[in-house]
Amino acid sequence: MDFFYSPEQILLRDTVRRFARERIAPAAAAIDRDDVFPREIYRGLADMGLFGVALPEEAGGVGMDTTTACIVMEEIACGAGAVGNMYALPVESVLMLHAHGNEVHKAWIPKLLDGSAVPATAVTEADAGSDVAGMRTTARLDGDHYVIHGAKAWVTFGGVCDFVLVFAKTSPEHGNHNISCYLVECDRPGVRRGANEHLMGMHGLEDCEMSFDNVRVPLANRLGPENQAFRMAMANFNVGRLLMASMALGMTRAAFEDAQRYARDRRQFGQPIGAFQAVQFMLADMATEMDAARLLIHHAARLHDAGQPIAKQAAQAKLFTTDMAMKHVSNALQIHGGAGYSRHFRVERIFRDVKLSQIYEGTNQIQRLIIARAIEKEAV
Ligand SMILES: Cc1cc2nc3c(=O)[nH]c(=O)nc-3n(C[C@H](O)[C@H](O)[C@H](O)COP(=O)(O)OP(=O)(O)OC[C@H]3O[C@@H](n4cnc5c(N)ncnc54)[C@H](O)[C@@H]3O)c2cc1C
């Protein structure tokens, strides 16, 4: 892909690749084992300016673009999927606050960029996952405040965030037409964090339920126009999906590199297992589909950077990449034989981590729905 990248993108990619090899990958097993937010590594990403990579310079960012954020994500996630996951949140949050925020919201951007503040986003509820419009959390107007009441599920960074972007309805009846978004500082009375979820993988994300018990926030905390948050969230999901796809791609690359090395070293029947065509073909398919995934991701990212709509392309990139990742990380584990099933080899962790990419930022069934609707509209 170097042919398509600018010299600045190549320099940044190589710098992040070094950081991922030297700092992230060696810490990955401990993050997985301890399941605690690795604040030092998070600050390390911030120190490199990576959270503002797609943010314009006049807003304090690096002034590059979504394509570059995808390049960076692939490198970070190649070091550790969970750290890639952590990278996505501040990148998406600064873009959201910059695009829709007033002074109250924008005051958080420098703190997000330097890693001193941690964001979270709360859309999902126990009974409203794929069906976002089914959410029950309400925001009632009371004088110069909104009163937010409800409970959110699966909040990534819920245990450590300084503020959370809460999506809530002004009345629960009207489908997705009256959802607004509110920045809620976590030190406000009534904000409660649940216990951390025991996740299969992606440890260190401090994922938990959060409840909002009549939490009062000033009118100025509403992000963007009233009742427009569904549209805002969907637009933000497009970038989120490209980042999740890049994250899955980075994890697949790590599994591929390990499988290729293992296939050279491991001998059976008097020869390296990599001499067997069955193993070679698994590696060949991995290499081919990783390249195809990267092309899909970067095609969508470039369209986005050029101001084009990408709902279909982002869904296709996320669907293809995360399904291919699940398949090929499983094959990489298979190439390790019994060893792959043990915690001595990181492919076991990657296998657990990568599964999440098919589930969140819209499940892959929902991605197919988006694609199906888009191609129906395109049909002549
Ligand atoms: C580790 C983790 C972190 C998360 N972080 C966040 C976060 O920070 N903020 C946040 O708001 N949310 C977060 N989520 C929630 C995540 O976005 C949801 O889990 C996801 O959207 C799916 O919702 P659900 O789990 O309720 O599944 P459901 O919507 O109940 O889906 C269950 C199954 O039914 C299928 N299905 C549902 N509807 C349809 C349909 N119309 N057609 C076909 N199939 C369908 C789904 O594809 C899935 O296979 C996180 C989840 C996890 C596991």
Distance 152 CA to ligand 1 centre (A): 13
- Ligand 1 pocket test target in 91, 196, 199, 363 with most atoms within 8 Å of CB: 363
**From atom 14 of ligand 1, which residue's Cα is the shortest distance away?**
154
**From atom 52 of ligand 1, which residue's Cα is the shortest distance away?**
154
- Ligand 1 pocket test target in 136, 230, 355, 359 with most atoms within 8 Å of CB: 359
- Ligand 1 pocket test target in 125, 130, 184, 200 with most atoms within 8 Å of CB: 130
Residue 352 CB neighbour total at 10 angstroms: 16
- The finding on whether 82 has its CB within 6 A of some atom of ligand 1 is no
Catalytic site includes residue 361: yes
Region 119-227: CATH code: 2.40.110.10
Which pLDDT band, with edges at 50, 70 and 90, does 177 fall under?
confident
**From atom 30 of ligand 1, which residue's Cα is the shortest distance away?**
129
**Dist. CA 351–CA 251, nearest whole Å:** 9
Report pLDDT for 3.
Answer: 87
Between residues 235 and 320, the one the model is more confident about: 320
**Where would I find the beta strands (DSSP E) of 255-301?**
267-268, 271-272
**Dist. CA 98–CA 45, nearest whole Å:** 20
Query: 18 has which bridge partners?
Result: none
**Dist. CA 9–CA 301, nearest whole Å:** 14
pLDDT score of 172 more than 70: no
- The finding on whether 356 has its CB within 6 A of some atom of ligand 1 is yes
CB 243 within 8 A of CB 88: yes
Report pLDDT for 234.
Answer: 87
Report pLDDT for 341.
Answer: 98
Q: Considering the entire predicted model, what is its pTM? A: 0.97
Distance 367 CA to ligand 1 centre (A): 12
- The finding on whether 154 has its CB within 6 A of some atom of ligand 1 is yes
Averaged pLDDT, 155-164? 98
Mean pLDDT for the chain? 96
Q: Tell me the per-residue pLDDT of 36-56, one tens digit each, with 9 for 90 and over.
A: 999 999 999 999 999 999 999
**Dist. CA 120–CA 156, nearest whole Å:** 6
| Topology (CATH) of 2-113 | Butyryl-Coa Dehydrogenase, subunit A; domain 1 (1.10.540)
Residue whose pair of structure tokens reads 């930022």 in the numeric block: 361
Q: Tell me the per-residue pLDDT of 305-315, one tens digit each, with 9 for 90 and over.
A: 999 999 999 99
Report pLDDT for 2.
Answer: 85
pLDDT score of 328 more than 90: yes
Averaged pLDDT, 233-248? 95
- The finding on whether 130 has its CB within 6 A of some atom of ligand 1 is yes
pLDDT score of 176 more than 90: no
- The finding on whether 206 has its CB within 6 A of some atom of ligand 1 is no
Distance 154 CA to ligand 1 centre (A): 9
**From atom 44 of ligand 1, which residue's Cα is the shortest distance away?**
365
Architecture of the CATH domain 230-378: Up-down Bundle (1.20)
Q: What is the DSSP letter of 310?
A: -
- The finding on whether 129 has its CB within 6 A of some atom of ligand 1 is yes
The string of DSSP letters for 43-75 reads: HHHHHTTGGGTTS-GGGTS----HHHHHHHHHH
- The finding on whether 276 has its CB within 6 A of some atom of ligand 1 is no
- Ligand 1 pocket test target in 322, 360, 361, 367 with most atoms within 8 Å of CB: 360
pLDDT score of 6 more than 90: yes
Averaged pLDDT, 65-93? 98
Tokens representing residue 289 in the block: 């589909």
pLDDT score of 1 more than 90: no
Which pLDDT band, with edges at 50, 70 and 90, does 175 fall under?
low
pLDDT score of 277 more than 70: yes
Q: What is the DSSP letter of 197?
A: P
**Dist. CA 75–CA 23, nearest whole Å:** 12
pLDDT score of 70 more than 90: yes
Which pLDDT band, with edges at 50, 70 and 90, does 156 fall under?
very high
Is 378 exposed, middle or buried, given 0-12, 13-18 or 19+ CB atoms closer than 10 A?
A: exposed
Q: What share of the chain is helix, strand, coil (3-state, %, to 5)?
A: 60, 15, 25
- Return the percentage of the chain with pLDDT > 70, whole number: 99
Averaged pLDDT, 129-147? 95
**Dist. CA 130–CA 158, nearest whole Å:** 20
**From atom 11 of ligand 1, which residue's Cα is the shortest distance away?**
123
Averaged pLDDT, 277-282? 98
- The finding on whether 90 has its CB within 6 A of some atom of ligand 1 is no
CB 61 within 8 A of CB 53: yes
Q: Which residue among the candidates 125, 197, 361, 376 is catalytic per the annotation?
A: 361
Between residues 232 and 245, the one the model is more confident about: 245
Distance 356 CA to ligand 1 centre (A): 10
Distance 55 CA to ligand 1 centre (A): 28
**From atom 26 of ligand 1, which residue's Cα is the shortest distance away?**
129
The string of DSSP letters for 232-261 reads: HHHHHHHHHHHHHHHHHHHHHHHHHHHHHH
> Domain coordinates of the chain in residue numbers?
2-113, 119-227, 230-378
Distance 132 CA to ligand 1 centre (A): 9
